[in-house]
Amino acid sequence: MVDEPAEVQRLLEAVEAFEAIEDDSTCAVAVSKALEAWPDYHSRLRELRQRRVLAMKEQGKTWKEIGEDLGGISAARAQQIGAGHRGAKRPSSKKATSPDN
């Protein structure tokens, strides 16, 4: 977390704050409320990133340079972000279990 921007650190600290809630019910309710709002924030963050990537391109950066700026992603992926394309969905890390378990 040391090399992360302050905004990223605050977001990670917020998740840690949820984890620190001792009462299970209170924690579950708080997390549920955050998750209800998350789709809107996720969309806003994707759109913000896209706008900033396009601004870098307009400033004359190549897709390769933009990819490097974004943490070493490929030029093709940087171009996809600029076009507003979403990445492939990650496979679920949850094991198949019954909700009654």
DSSP string, 37-89: HHHHHHHHHHHHHHHHHHHHHHTT--HHHHHHHTTS--HHHHHHHHHTPPPPP
pTM: 0.73
Which 3 state secondary structure label does DSSP give 23? coil
Per-residue confidence (pLDDT) for residue 86, from 0 to 100: 83
Give the model confidence (pLDDT) of 29-74 as tens digits: 999 999 999 999 999 999 999 999 999 999 999 999 999 999 999 9
Burial 85-98 (b: 16+ CB within 10 A, else e): eeeeeeeeeeeeee
